[in-house]
Amino acid sequence: MWSEPLAGEASTDPGLCVLFVLYASPLANYLPIDFESEIDRIVCSARDSGRLQTGQVRLNVGTASSSSLTKLLTLSHAQRSGLILHLAAHGDEAGGLILESTKGTGEVHSCSHEKLRKILNVGGRGLRGVSLVFLSSCSSKKLAQVFIDCGCQHVIATNRTVLDATARAFTERFYGALFVGKSIASAFEHTKEALLASSHPEVADQSNAFLLLTNHDRLEGGDCPCTGEGDGSWQLMECLERPSSVLSQRDTDIEGFQEACSFQDKLTFLPPQVEDFFRPPVMQQVLMLLRNRRACALHGPEGIGKTALGVEIARFAASPGRLFSSNVLHVQLDQKSRAVKTVKECVDFFMARAGPCSVAEAPEGNSRCVVWQL
């Protein structure tokens, strides 16, 4: 329970904060984004504040697609106090945004400024219900202006390329300050000062790469119900006139999104990422095949990377909003003899139903049984 502030003392209780992390890391032509590390940093900051455990901070994760953005904006229109959107995605050469397709198979959906404006202005209210957009993308200043023009109150962006180490440090410190009650402007300045004092020269040199853009006209016009005086001093305060049911847990459980802690827990069922793995075109081909097939067999000589490919496909497809969102289970067979026995039992099981043929039609009304020799 929070103590009541003394007379004349400003409350630092941030009330309820709902943050959505959207990521887009298509398979073709773009380097993979390590969004799992970003999610981990944000979750750690929320836990350290103590407000994740009490439910005052809610973190949700999903892929960044036109569909997920539309669903999120629809939710934001139903409330008076704004959501926070953390967007990890690539920008294109023209300053647009690279999203993923709604198929969940990692295809590219390139969004020009004009396309993005149409998505963000769905429902005619734009981003009025979004208090902060954190663009976790290099050289995103031009892109940030699109979000500001569409009504977002604050946007954090970068004016040049930044190192992954710098981006991770900024993310962790900024949300750590925000979750304990600092205003957006104060948390932003606090984070820049912390990076400037970093013992790592490359991080300190990039402390000024981050920018905070503010929609001054909207703030000064009084349309925003958040606290502050038009100077970016918004805090995560509850609005008294907002219906208590607007931000219930059920309302923030949007299809295609997953609670961040649950997502982290399910990652423990998967093998660790393969270091320095280059995603080949066949990765997309397998995912496309699995959209309407029950199984896909990878075969080839030893040492060409079949296991690594299987691991990366499993992790990719299991991410929220993708083909097998949170529905991938990896079973580790520690001994070769046990693996051979397991495979033999599976083959015997299918052969007993298929007869002597490797591919057999089962009796009418049953499924086809296909057996491969392994």
For residue 366, the model assigns a pLDDT of 46
328: in domain: no
pLDDT at 276 over 60: yes
| Confidence band for 91, pLDDT divided at 50, 70 and 90 | confident
- My answer on whether 212 and 359 are in the same domain is no
Percent of the chain's residues with pLDDT above 90: 29
* The pLDDT of residue 335: 67
Reported as a pLDDT band with limits 50, 70 and 90, residue 203 is: confident
Query: If we measure between CA atoms, which residue out of 165, 137, 172, 135 comes closest to residue 152?
Result: 135
Please give the DSSP secondary-structure letter assigned to residue 208.
Answer: G
Mean pLDDT rounded to a whole number for the chain: 78
What ranges in the chain are assigned the alpha helix state H? 35-49, 66-77, 113-120, 141-149, 164-179, 184-196, 201-205, 216-220, 249-252, 260-267, 281-289, 306-318, 336-354
In a domain, 135, yes or no: yes
Domain finish residue from 217, 237, 265: 265
Higher pLDDT, 79 or 193: 193
Q: Are residues 340 and 213 part of one domain?
A: no
Residue with the larger pLDDT of the pair 165 and 373: 165
Indicate whether 223 pLDDT > 80: no
- What pLDDT is recorded for position 355? 52
Report residue 89's pLDDT band, with 50, 70 and 90 as the boundaries. Answer: very high
233 located within any domain: yes
The closest alpha carbon to 27, from 280, 328, 289, 370, belongs to 280
pLDDT at position 115 over 70: yes
Same domain, 171 and 259: yes
What CATH number does the domain containing 34 carry? 3.40.50.1460
If asked whether residues 224 and 373 sit together in one domain, one would say no
Cα 232 from chain centroid (whole Å): 25
What is the pLDDT, as a whole number, of residue 293? 86
| This prediction's pTM | 0.78
Out of 241, 265, 289, a domain closes at 265
Q: Which of 242, 265, 288 is the last residue of a domain?
A: 265
pLDDT at 184 over 60: yes
Give the pLDDT confidence score for residue 2 in this predicted structure: 32
Q: Which of 287, 296, 283 is nearest to 372 (CA)?
A: 296
- Comparing 220 with 306, the larger pLDDT belongs to 306
Q: Which residues pair with 23 in a beta bridge?
A: 63, 88
Q: What is the arithmetic mean of pLDDT over 110-124? A: 86
Task: For residues 101-119, give the mean pLDDT.
Answer: 90
Residues 245 and 349 in one domain: no
What residue numbers bound the domain in which 353 lies?
333-374
Separation of alpha carbons 236 and 226, rounded Å: 8
Residue 309 lies in a domain: no
Q: How far apart are CA 314 and CA 325, in angstroms?
A: 10
Q: Is residue 290 part of a domain?
A: no
Q: Which of 260, 295, 322 is nearest to 25 (CA)?
A: 322
Residues 125 and 212 in one domain: yes
Specify if 5 maps to a domain: no
Mean pLDDT score, 265-283? 86
Whether 22 is covered by a domain: the verdict is yes
The confidence score (pLDDT) of residue 268 equals 83
Q: Is the pLDDT of residue 47 over 60?
A: yes
Percent of the chain with pLDDT over 70: 75
Cβ neighbourhood burial of 224 (10 Å; 0-12, 13-18, 19+): buried
Q: Is 141 inside a domain boundary?
A: yes
- Banded pLDDT at 213 (limits 50, 70, 90): very high
Task: Label residue 245 by pLDDT band (50, 70, 90).
Answer: very low
Please compute the mean of the pLDDT values over residues 16-45 and round it to a whole number: 91
Which residue's entry shows tokens 């400003």?
10
> What's the rounded mean pLDDT across residues 223-232?
38
**213 and 92 housed in the same domain:** yes
User: Whole-angstrom Cα distance, residue 229 to residue 220?
Assistant: 7
Domain count, the chain: 2
